[in-house]
A and B are shown apart, each in its own frame.
Chain A
Amino acid sequence: MREGSHEGTRIVVGMATCGIAAGARPVLNAFVEEIAKRNLQNVTVVQTGCIGMCQFEPIVEVIAPGKEKVTYGMMSPEKAVRVVTDHIVNGNPVAEFTVAKLMK
């Protein structure tokens, strides 16, 4: 379901026109595949619309329970795999992929 369970980690992928044109589909599929491969429970991948930072698409937000939301920009399937390994599994957000870093 779109809202999913709020207990687990949510991976939110921007799937508006801007996101799709920038390559959100392979990014989303990379997340789904990596999560399935690692058999991660309580991780859901959901979509959202345009959040107004189209120049940084594909944008992915990772919302882990009890943690601050991390917004990644200019994502690729390769970066998605890295986010799953470092952030979702090991709890270390990948600072270099964040929108905050890209804006500097």
Chain B
Amino acid sequence: MRELSLNVLDIAQNSIVAGATLVELVVSEDTVNDRLTLVIADNGRGMTPEQLERVRDPFYTTRTTRKVGMGVPLFRMAAEMAGGELIIRSTVGEGTTVTATFGLKHIDRMPLGDMAGTVSTLIRLNPHLDFVYRHEVDGQSFELDTRILREVLDGVPLSEPDVMEWIDGNMAEGLLPLNRQA
């Protein structure tokens, strides 16, 4: 993975496989404490403590749950080599929250990359699911919530080219005023 936003896209696939109807993606840049935090939170089926324990193992994968493989270990490695850590909280029937922290200015921190591209890809491929993307930089923030868009669209699918074009434009415009470092 060359961009953290690709890790986010990869981890979010796990949420989708877990039957989530809402996936929240949060990017938080804190220049005061030199911290970058990425959160992928879902309302999917969650994991048992035993499964959670084995997610650390890159060789843990089965055919039925094969989305659990290299994705989590790669994300953990990206965080740990940049002075951060990966924390996964999960409750069966409630969902899973993956939180990765990084030293914002750490020399080995991978660039965040095209986060809007990740969000756009997720919405395009899963127009029946809801996504929230929040990007915070030192207290300022941008948020995209497909639940709000859905209300306004009144039945028009999110995957409609005109709608996706608007979403892409909205993200580009909304992210612009933030003084992003990641």
Contact = CB atoms under 8 A, between A and B. Distances in A.
Is B truly associated with A? Answer: yes
Nearest to B17: A49
B168 to A, nearest CB: 10
Contact of A20 (B6, B127, B161): B6
Interface stretch (B46-54, B69-77, B92-100): B69-77
Interface residues of A, number: 19
A46 B125 contact: yes
Interface string B50-93: 00000000000000001101110010000000000000000000
B6 A21 contact: yes
A34 to B, nearest CB: 11
B121 A28 contact: yes
A17 B118 contact: no
A16 to B, nearest CB: 7
Given A16-B67, A26-B117, A21 B125 contact: no
Contacts of B118: 25
B121 A21 contact: no
A100 interface: no
B10 A20 contact: yes
B9 A25 contact: yes
A20 B1 contact: yes
A29 B70 contact: no
A11 to B, nearest CB: 11
B124 interface: yes
B13 interface: yes
A103 interface: no
A44 to B, nearest CB: 9
A45 B124 contact: yes
Question: 7 closest A-B pairs (Cβ-Cβ)?
Answer: A36-B161, A17-B71, A17-B70, A20-B10, A47-B125, A21-B1, A17-B10
Given A20-B9, A29-B124, A49-B67, 17 more contacts: A1-B128, A15-B9, A16-B13, A17-B71, A20-B10, A21-B10, A21-B74, A25-B6, A25-B114, A25-B117, A25-B118, A26-B117, A28-B121, A28-B125, A32-B124, A49-B66, A50-B66
